[in-house]
Each structure stands twice: as C-alpha cells, then as structure tokens.
Amino acid sequence: MGRPPCCDKVGVKKGPWTPEEDIILVSYIQEHGPGNWRAVPTNTGLLRCSKSCRLRWTNYLRPGIKRGNFTEHEEKMIIHLQALLGNRWAAIASYLPQRTDNDIKNYWNTHLKKKLKKLQGSECHSRDGSSSSSQKISRGQWERRLQTDIHMAKQALSDALSPEKSSGLAELKPSNGYISYAKPGGYASSTENIAKLLKEWMRNPSKPVSANSAATQLSFDNMAGTDSASSEGTPSKEEKSSREMSEAFESLFVLESFDSSNSDFSQSMSPEASLFQDESKPDLNAQGQLSLLEKWLFDDGANQGKDYLSDITLDENANFF
DNA sequence: AATGCGTTCAACCGCGCTCCG
DNA sequence: ACGGAGCGCGGTTGAACGCAT
C-alpha cells in the first residue's frame, strides 16, 4: 500500500512560478492564512500541487524573508550552527528567522562549504599527517567551546533584555516559519503590494523568471514597517538591533542544545556522534583547523567572552532559564 | 559571435513524523 | 493499535546565468 500522491500528477504544473500564480497564492493566503495546503490548489484554481504551494509560500512569498547578501555574522552563525546541529537546515533557519532553510542550505552548499574547505586546506598543508590523531577533539574542548558560547549568549541575552531593547526580544523565539504573520500590521500582502507586484511584472512581461524578483519585492514590501526597514534609512540602529537579535538567537541555540534533552546534548558532544561523522558535517575538529576557523568564527564579538568561564558549569547552564 | 563549462538557486522528490478518526 | 492524510525536512535536480575560451 503505497503512499498516495499528494496531488494528481496529471495536469499539475511544474517549474518556475509566474507572477500571476504568486498573486493568486498570496491573495488566498492573505484571506485564509497559511495552512491547509491541500485545499489551496482546489480553492484557488492553481494547477500546482499543495507541496509546491507551501514551498513557494514558505521560501519566497512569506513576509519577512531576506534574500541574498548573507552578512559575515550570518555566515558565522550558520557555520557555528551547522557544526553543532549538522545539516538540520530547518533548525538552523529557526535561529535566522529572516532566512529560509532552503536559502541557508543553498548558501552552505555553494559558498560556505568552499570557504571552509579553503580555510581547512590552508591549515592542512602545514599539518598533514597529523589528521588521524587530531580527528578527535576531546569532549572537554567542546564543552569549553560551548561554555564560551553560553557566556556570550548570556551577555547577548542580558543586553537584549535591557528595557530599551525589549521590543526586539519579542521576536526572539525560533521562527516556526510564520513568525511575521501574526505581527500587527506586519503581514502585509496588501492590495497595494499585490498591485506593485503586478506593476513590476507588467514592466517586464517577457521575463517570467522575474517572478522571483517580483515576489522578493513583495516580500520586502511586506516587511515594511517591521524589521525590513534596515535596508535603508537608519542603518546603524537597525543593524545594531538586528545584530542583537542574532546574538540572542545564538544564545537560544546554545541553551537549546542543553535544554532539548541530554540525548541531544550528548549527540552533539560525543566524538563518535553525528557531529564528526561525515562530509555533511564539516570536519572542524582537527586541532589546527579549529584554530583558524575559531579565529574567524570568534572574530566578532567573541572577545567579550574569551576567558573561558571556568565558573560556569553545564548544570548551571541547563538551569539557566 | 559562438560554444563550453562552472556556478547558483528555485523547485522537485521522497521519506519520516505527527495528528486524527 | 492501526492506517490514512497532511505537513515538514533534507537531498537532489535542472534551468538560468556568467565567465572564459
């Protein structure tokens, strides 16, 4: 008894979405909210399967999505999170709420993998032969690194908790994908935006692929009045709060790694665990490689927590909240 | 200008998980 | 307890694009 197809394979359109389809989908979701994807093609008349609709929404049309131009800080967070969580892109994305898992996955595969390889390669040259012995990093080292993270996270969190920053903290929970949706005035697939999208498309009707840019525009427009204003206007303030947010997210991921059960913790900590197993988890454990990567990863903002917090125990961290 | 090759990224596919009757 | 339906996730694909020759 096989799984039935999510939709009839015949008559289902595949490939890039057109602006018209985007408009239809956005309009529908604006009215009904995201969810019940199975009903979307039926109710909208879109010749797409429910999965395709969901994907299009979550990855491109959903408000609050930032595309391209990963900052160095974001890169570091991704690398850090990937080292700890492995290829759990959704989990990683939940700490970068403006990024989708697909986006992060693509960025990892196309940019960061190479970057790390390059960094590691340059270190390996001076240390080849020692790899087998340095393959294993001691648990103690990882604990220390995590303790550092926790300290940084604590600081970031206490910063974020200070009264003038509390507004940013409201968004500190990991995104479930729809974090922006409930924001008052935040969800803005407004008629103006749809009109704008349409207008954009009318300007380049010959380029169906521009659906993406148009949709992106829509997404950004949707963010107007929320956190998207940072792209222009008052960059310093916005960037700062965005950064604070990211740091707070870092704090959350560190805490979660302890919080989300010991098995999770031991999984990420034990040398034979998935963390160090395969190519999908970069081999960050070689001593020399770590040193170079550490330098880069800890480059920004790490100074505050560099002295290794000998007073913080894992138990203490587990009870942090 | 034409062609080949490498890169990027939107979208698809298949599997696993959860919920519900 | 079981099975079906719906959804989410990670891996993979392939079209579009840019650059080199």
Helices (H), chain A: 19-32, 39-44, 50-56, 72-85, 89-93, 101-107, 113-124, 131-134, 139-161, 166-169, 191-203, 211-223, 235-259, 262-269, 287-297, 314-318
Domain count, chain A: 2
Instruction: Check whether residue A90 has its CB closer than 7 Å to nucleic acid strand C.
Output: yes
User: Can you give the distance from the CA of residue A149 to the C1' of nucleotide C3 in angstroms?
Assistant: 45
| Nucleotide nearest residue A103, measured CA to C1' | B9
For residue A282 the two structure tokens come to 């970069």
* A40 nearest nucleotide via C1' and CA: C6
Same domain, A57 and A76: no
Q: Chain-wide mean pLDDT for chain A?
A: 56
Percentage of residues of chain A with pLDDT beyond 90: 0
Task: Please indicate, yes or no, if residue A109 is contained in any of the structural domains.
Answer: yes
Q: Report the pLDDT value the prediction gives residue A89, as an integer from 0 to 100.
A: 86
Is the minimum distance from the CB of A165 to strand C below 7 Å? Answer: no
Say what the pLDDT of residue A272 is: 33
Domain-located, residue A168: no
Cβ of residue A88 near strand C, that is under 7 Å? Answer: yes
In this predicted structure, the answer to whether residue A184 has a pLDDT above a threshold of 70 is no
Answer for A113: CB within 7 Å of strand C: no
Within a domain: A77: yes
Predicted pLDDT of residue A27: 86
Over 60: is that where the pLDDT of A88 sits?
yes
Q: How far is the CA of A48 from the C1' of C4 (A)?
A: 22
Domain closes at, from A100, A118, A136 = A118
Q: Where residue A92 sits, what CATH number does that domain have?
A: 1.10.10.60
Query: What per-residue confidence (pLDDT) applies to A199?
Result: 52
What is the average per-residue pLDDT within A15-24?
A: 86
Q: Is the dihedral of CA A168, A174, A180, A182 positive or negative?
A: negative
**Inside any domain, residue A279:** no
CA-to-C1' distance for A55 and C9, Å? 11
Could you tell me the CA-to-CA distances from A124 to A78, A283, A295 in Å, in that order? 23, 12, 16
Q: Which nucleotide is nearest to A59 (CA to C1')?
A: B10
Query: 3-state class of A281 per DSSP?
Result: coil
Find the domain containing A33 and state its range. Answer: 19-61
Q: Give the closest nucleotide to A209 (alpha carbon vs C1').
A: C16
In tens, the pLDDT along A22-70 reads 888 888 888 888 878 888 888 888 888 888 888 888 888 888 788 777 8
Q: Does residue A93 carry a pLDDT above 60?
A: yes
Strand B close to A115 by CB, under 7 A = no
Chain C nucleotides close to protein (CB under 7 A) are 3-12, 15-17
Stated pTM of the model: 0.58
- Residue A36: CATH number of its domain: 1.10.10
Rounded, the Å distance between the CA of A90 and C1' of B16 is: 15
Residue A8 in domain? no
Any strand B atom closer than 7 Å to A51 CB:
yes
A184 domain residue, yes or no: no
Residue A107 predicted with pLDDT over 70: yes
